Amino acid sequence: MIAPAVPFPVVVFDLDGTLLQSVPSLTRTLNVQFAEDGIAPLSEAEVGLMVGEGVGLLVARAYGARGIGGGDIHDPGHAARLARFSARYNADPVTDARVYPGAVETLRALKDQGIRLGLCTNKPEAPTLVLIEATGLAPFLDVVVGGDTLPRRKPDPLPLRHVLDHLGATPDQALYVGDSPTDAACAQAAGVTLALLSHGYSRVPVETLGAKRVFDSLPALARWVTDGAGD
């Protein structure tokens, strides 16, 4: 059932940079592999600019920043580098990963209004499921789609449309909450209203991405939605 009295009966969240501070764990995992390869480590600031379009591009860009593989997922050595990264990250995505302040309370506040919640991330499904359990987000999420759940990922509208279909919602009934140009393009292609968090990992200023609203914290977003999502 769709709750009729709230402006957005369905709210769908991105994960990395929106609900979850994942760059510390991604950076640590990359740098362990870089040390094995004799490559100088990357900073969290550098890795933050590489997140949001899936793990394949993250690994390609990370090596590309050190002159290996040209940032290209079609480079002959890429598949092996990605497999090593995924094996290590998927074995422990949780250490050093933290939710942003108020994340659990935000999901609870929206649920308490009868709003149904979804997750639409480009992070692969396996570590996503581990992370949402470990951080206490899982009980609030009615549907979860990862970057490898479906044949196409964001910015393609398919994963967001899949979430809405699963919840029985039309695009105009939903709000998508993200942090990056990938999220903005996905929401626009799906015809879904967009809100952005400025605390995440966008390569461009979030104010330029066409969101209905930009928030600096999850509690601010929650207040806006539960107060009626006015202008």
Residues tagged active-site = 14
- 14 is an annotated ligand-binding site residue: yes
CB-based burial, 75-100: b 16+ in 10 Å, e otherwise: eeebeebbebbbebbeeebeeebebb
Minimum CB–partner distance for residue 17 and ligand PGA (Å): 5
Segment interacting with ligand PGA (CB under 6 A) among 13-21, 36-44, 78-86, 109-117: 13-21
End-to-end CA separation in angstroms for the chain? 27
- 148 is an annotated ligand-binding site residue: no
- 172 is an annotated ligand-binding site residue: no
Cβ neighbours of 29 (radius 10 Å): 24
Task: Establish if 121 lies at the interface with ligand PGA (CB under 6 A).
Answer: yes
Report the candidate in 213, 185, 176 with the shortest Cα–Cα distance to residue 198: 213
Gyration radius (Cα) of the chain, Å = 17
Minimum CB–partner distance for residue 34 and Mg ion (Å): 23
Backbone dihedral angles phi then psi of residue 152, each to the nearest 5 degrees:
-130, 150
Task: Establish if 159 lies at the interface with ligand PGA (CB under 6 A).
Answer: no
Token digits of residue 86: 């995924």
Q: Which does 155 bind (CB under 5 to 8 A by kind): ligand PGA, Mg ion, none?
A: none
The one among 28, 78, 123, 161 contacting ligand PGA by CB under 6 A? 123
Minimum CB–partner distance for residue 112 and ligand PGA (Å): 25
Task: Establish if 9 lies at the interface with Mg ion (CB under 5 A).
Answer: no
Point out the annotated binding site for Mg(2+).
14, 16, 179
